[in-house]
Structure 1
């Protein structure tokens, strides 16, 4: 076995995805992933902390891209405009990853431990959005609401994207943001109506 194989991390990801599909997440071992990828277990651990991280490596990168886009919006932009910019920035991260994202999501959906990890990832994104909005001077409760709403838009859009045919995720994100506007703006419901 060659000691330094090119793109070992990519081959490990592909091997893991294939094994997760064939024998399930719980039935797959690090040794099995390494063997399928043609590397040693030691090489696996150079790239990933454990077999779960094969699925979640890169999450920090997605969060950084989204938060950076939120932060870069003009100061005069409202909280939801800033959040929408952050949500739309996810498109560049997922470009060309539809098949991988679909397979990854199927593994996560079938495994409670992984669904919990995905929930933690979304909670981290909410916290990061909220902190960025507070840095812009948005009051805490309003920042929390905008952050939660934005991450919900992202999550719903992502699910639509992986469940459907390969399409531009940015178009789906825009459609979901438009649906949110319709839900909140076209209803005619005013806060005073809620008290009745």
Structure 2
């Protein structure tokens, strides 16, 4: 192996996901992931803290994208509409990775440790969105409620999207799921009193 290998991080992610699907998360070792990617364990640990984090790489970038999108929404938008715009932008980022997302979702869903890590990721995203809403002048509990409701919508929409046979866009499923939330809450569009 040479000293420098192009796209080591991406190759490690792909190798890990393949092995998790083939053998299961618990049965896969870092050494096997590195070997499958034709890299060393040392290279693996330069990119990821552990084998779990391979599945969660990019969470920070996704949150940054969502928060930037929320910041760009006109000030007149309701808190839930601002969150919806942020989540649609996050959906656009994920759209081209549907095959990867389907496999990743199956792996995460099959493992309690990974489900817990996924919930932490979503809670962190909700906290980031709530903070962005507070910067816009949205008070509490409206900021937290809008962010948490948005994450619930996104979670449901994402599970539907990876499970659907048709090829609808994730942003469309997010909008549809938000419409369902509005229907079950009596059509409220958000805002603080």
* Structure 1 counterpart of 2:137: 137
More displaced, 160-169 or 112-121? 160-169
Within-5 A mapping of 1:103-182: 103-165=103-165, 166-182=167-183
* Structure 1 counterpart of 2:72: 72
User: How many residues of Structure 1 are paired with residues of Structure 2 in the alignment?
Assistant: 187
* Structure 1 counterpart of 2:90: 90
C-alpha root-mean-square deviation of aligned residues, in Å? 1.4
Within-5 A mapping of 1:15-94: 15-94=15-94
The superposition leaves residues 102-136 of structure 1 with CA deviations (integer Å, 9 ceiling, x where unpaired) of 10011111111111100100110111111111111
Distance 1:22 1:144 in 2: 39
Distance 1:95 1:22 in 2: 24
* Structure 1 counterpart of 2:184: 183
Distance 2:180 2:87 in 1: 14
Distance 1:100 1:84 in 2: 24
More displaced, 86-95 or 113-122? 86-95
How does the TM-score come out when normalised to structure 1?
Answer: 0.91
* Structure 2 counterpart of 1:100: 100
The superposition leaves residues 17-55 of structure 1 with CA deviations (integer Å, 9 ceiling, x where unpaired) of 111112111111111100011011111112111111110
Distance 1:100 1:175 in 2: 23
More displaced, 53-62 or 82-91? 82-91
How does the TM-score come out when normalised to structure 2?
Answer: 0.92
Q: Secondary structure at the match of 2:141?
A: helix
Distance 2:64 2:80 in 1: 18
Distance 2:125 2:95 in 1: 20
Note the residue ranges of structure 1 that are not aligned, 5 or more in a row.
188-196
Q: Whose Rg is larger?
A: 1
Distance 1:33 1:186 in 2: 48
Q: Which runs of 4+ in 1 moved over 3 A?
A: none
